[in-house]
Structure 1
Amino acid sequence: MSEPMKLSARVAAPLKKVHHALTDPGELRVWLAEHAEVELPHRYEFWGRHTPEGEAPRQRLLHVDDHTLRFAWPLGGEETTVEIILEEESAESTVVSLTQTHFDQEAALADSGVLGTLQTFWYLSSANLVDHLEGRELTPKADFTSPVMREQLVIDGSPEAVFDSLVDPEKFSRWFGYKVDIEPYVGGRFAMGGFEANDTPAKVVELEPGRGLTLEWPGFGLSSWELEGSGGGTRLTFVQSGFDEKNPPYAGWMGWLSGLAELRRFHELSDWRPIWLDPAAPGSPEGTTEGTTVSG
C-alpha cells in the first residue's frame, strides 16, 4: 500500500548550517550520496551507488527557500515528491522534518521494491546528516550496486557493555526506538514489537557474551553482530547473510545501519536522547513519542 513517509529529527546545529548541508553539493557528497550537483534555484540532483535507482540523476527541483526544500524524484515508476522543512528550535538546534510520497509499507516489510526502501533510506541519511553536522563519524551507507552486506564501526564502549545493549530487551528497545523482546540464549526468540505482537520471531542461533549475537529470520536469512575490543572501545561488525542475492534486503539493511548509528550515540553521549521526534510507528510500544522506526 502506497502512503506518505514521514520522519522528524533534531540536530544540534543552527538552521542556516543545516540548510547549507542540505543544499551544498560538496556537503551532500559527504552525508547523502556518491554524486551531487546543485544550482539553486534550478537544479538539485544526487545519484550513485548509495542512492535507490541511482544510475543517473532523477530529481527535479520544485521549490527552495530558507526553510523548505521540495523536489520530484521518479522511483519505481511513480513520480514521488520529497519535502524537507527546517524549523528553528533554538539558536543552536534545528528540527528537520521530511516527507516522501508513495512509500510502500508492504514492500518495506517484504524487503522488495524500491518504494519499500524510502523510509529506511531517509532514516539512515538523516542519522548521517545529524552526525555530520555535530562533528561525529558517519555510519556506512548502503551500496545498492552490491549484494554484500557487511560493515564495521567503532563504538566508544566496552564489548561487554555493547553486548549487554544487544541482549537486554529494555536497553535494545531504548536505542532502537521500537519494542523488542529477547530471550538471550541459543534457541531463544527475538521479536520485533514484542512476543505477543509477533508470531514469527527470529531465533537466536549464536550467542557468546561479549563477543557476538546471530539471529535467524524466517525467510530472510541471518543478522550477526560481531564484537571485538579496539583501543579501549568496541569494533562492531554487522553482517546480513543467507538472503536471496537477486533481491538483497536493502530496506532492512538500511534500517539496521540507522539503528547502529543510534546505538553508537547511546553509548558515547552522556546526555543521550533519541534524535528522532516521530509519533509512534505501527507496532511500536504504546505511548512512544520519540524513537526510530527501523525495519527488522
Structure 2
Amino acid sequence: MSEPMKLSARVTAPLKAVHHALTDPGELRVWLAEHAEVELPHRYAFWGRHTPDGQEPRQRPLHVDDRTLRFSWPLGGEETTVEISLEEESAESTIVTLTQTHFDQEAAMADSGVLGMTQTFWCLSIANLVDHLEGRELTPKADFTSPVLREELVIGGSPEAVFDSLVDPEKFSRWFGYKVDMEPYVGGRFAMGGFEANDTPAKVVALEPGRGLTLEWPGLGVSSWELEGSGGATRLTFVESGFDEKNPPYAGWMGWLSGIAELRRFHELSDWRPIWLDASVPGSPEQTGVSG
C-alpha cells in the first residue's frame, strides 16, 4: 500500500480552539459538512451533500486526545483511516497535519472515483477551517448532489488586480502553489507545470482585461473566471462546463475552489503567506497548485 496522503497547514488560532473546531458538531457543520454528530469517544460522524459518498454517516472514531483525532472512513470499498494531529507553533498559532490512507493518485488525475477526491476534499476543508478560525468568510463547499459547477464570491481587490493575478504566470504560480506557464492572449497556451512539462496545455479561448479569462482543456471541458467590480472589490464568478454531467469532475472542482480560497487571501491579507506547509505525495497542494 502506498504512503498515506498528507497535508499540513498553519492556522492563526490557539491549539485548544482548533481542537474544538475539529470535535464540536456545531463547528463541523460550519466548515466541513452539512450534517455532523459527535459524542466522543463513541461517535464521530459527518455526512450530507458536501461530503464524498455522503448519503449516510460512515465514520467511526478510533482515538482522540488533546492533540490527535483518528477515525475510520469507509470509501470506495476501502477502510480508509484519517488522522488529524495538532502542534502548537505558538500561543496563537497551530500546525494542523492530516493524513488519509488509500488515496488514489491515478483516480485523482483522471478525476474519477471517490478515492481520488479525498485530497482536494481535505484541501478545501482545511482552507475553510483556517478561514473559519481566523474570522474570514468561507469558500463555497462542493455539492456532490449537483452537476452544476458554478460559484460566486467576492475578493477584496480590484478587478484589474485580480485579473492580473490570473494572467501573470509568476503571480498565478505564487498563489496557486505550482509552476504555471501562460501566453496571455486569445489562442495562447496555459500549462500546469510549465510548457516543457505539459504536452497537452489548455488553450486561452477568451481574455478581456479586468473582465475575465476562459480556458479550454483538451477533451476535458472549460474553466472560466468572470470578474465584476463590486463596491471596491471584485465579484468572481467561476464556472466549469463542457464535461460529462454524469461524471462531474468534483476532484478538480474542489482543487480550484481551495485555490480560490488562497487567491482571496493573496489579495486581502497585507502579510499574506500560504497556509500550506508541506505534503507527501504528488498531487498535493505543492504539486497541483491548490495553495499559494
State the TM-score bracket (shorter-chain normalisation).
over 0.9
Distance 1:256 1:86, change over 3 A: same
2:84 — aligned with what?
84
User: Any conservation in 2 of the 1:3–1:104 contact (CA below 8 Å)?
Assistant: no
Partner SS, residue 191 of structure 1: strand
1:235 — aligned with what?
235
Q: Give me the identity figure in percent.
A: 89
1:173 — aligned with what?
173
1:189 — aligned with what?
189
Partner SS, residue 140 of structure 1: coil
Aligned partners of 1:282 and 1:110: how far apart in 2?
14
Partner SS, residue 66 of structure 1: coil
1:277 — aligned with what?
277
Partner SS, residue 101 of structure 2: strand
Trace 1:120-159 onto structure 2 (pairs within 5 A). Answer: 120-159=120-159
User: Any conservation in 2 of the 1:275–1:291 contact (CA below 8 Å)?
Assistant: no
Deviation at 1:293, TM superposition (A): 4.2
1:93 — aligned with what?
93
Letter in 2 for 1:123: C
Aligned partners of 2:6 and 2:193: how far apart in 1?
20
Deviates more, 1:1-10 or 1:207-216: 1-10
Deviation at 1:218, TM superposition (A): 1.1
Deviation at 1:247, TM superposition (A): 0.5
Distance 1:290 1:252, change over 3 A: closer
Does residue 294 in structure 1 map to residue 274 in structure 2?
no
Deviation at 1:246, TM superposition (A): 0.6
Aligned partners of 2:92 and 2:266: how far apart in 1?
21
User: Any conservation in 1 of the 2:6–2:279 contact (CA below 8 Å)?
Assistant: no
Does residue 74 in structure 1 map to residue 74 in structure 2?
yes
2:51 — aligned with what?
51
Partner SS, residue 246 of structure 1: coil
Aligned partners of 1:220 and 1:292: how far apart in 2?
17
Letter in 2 for 1:294: V
Equivalenced residue count is 291
1:220 — aligned with what?
220
2:23 — aligned with what?
23
Question: Runs in 1 of length 4+ with deviation above 2 angstroms?
Answer: 279-284, 289-295
Distance 1:41 1:280, change over 3 A: closer
Partner SS, residue 278 of structure 1: strand
**For residues 96-125 of structure 1, what are the alpha-carbon distances to aligned partners after superposition, in whole Å with 9 as ceiling and x for unaligned?**
000000000110010000000000000000
Residue ranges of structure 2 left out of the alignment (5+ in a row): none
User: Any conservation in 2 of the 1:215–1:224 contact (CA below 8 Å)?
Assistant: yes
Distance 1:2 1:118, change over 3 A: farther
RMSD: 1.7
Letter in 1 for 2:242: G
Letter in 2 for 1:66: D
**For residues 161-186 of structure 1, what are the alpha-carbon distances to aligned partners after superposition, in whole Å with 9 as ceiling and x for unaligned?**
00000000000000000111111001
Aligned partners of 1:219 and 1:89: how far apart in 2?
45
Distance 1:291 1:9, change over 3 A: farther
Letter in 2 for 1:134: E
Deviation at 1:219, TM superposition (A): 1.6
Aligned partners of 2:111 and 2:233: how far apart in 1?
33
Residue ranges of structure 1 left out of the alignment (5+ in a row): none
Deviation at 1:74, TM superposition (A): 0.2
Aligned partners of 1:278 and 1:212: how far apart in 2?
31
Aligned partners of 1:42 and 1:109: how far apart in 2?
36
Deviation at 1:282, TM superposition (A): 3.5
Deviation at 1:5, TM superposition (A): 1.0
Distance 1:280 1:211, change over 3 A: farther
1:114 — aligned with what?
114
Deviation at 1:4, TM superposition (A): 1.7
1:104 — aligned with what?
104
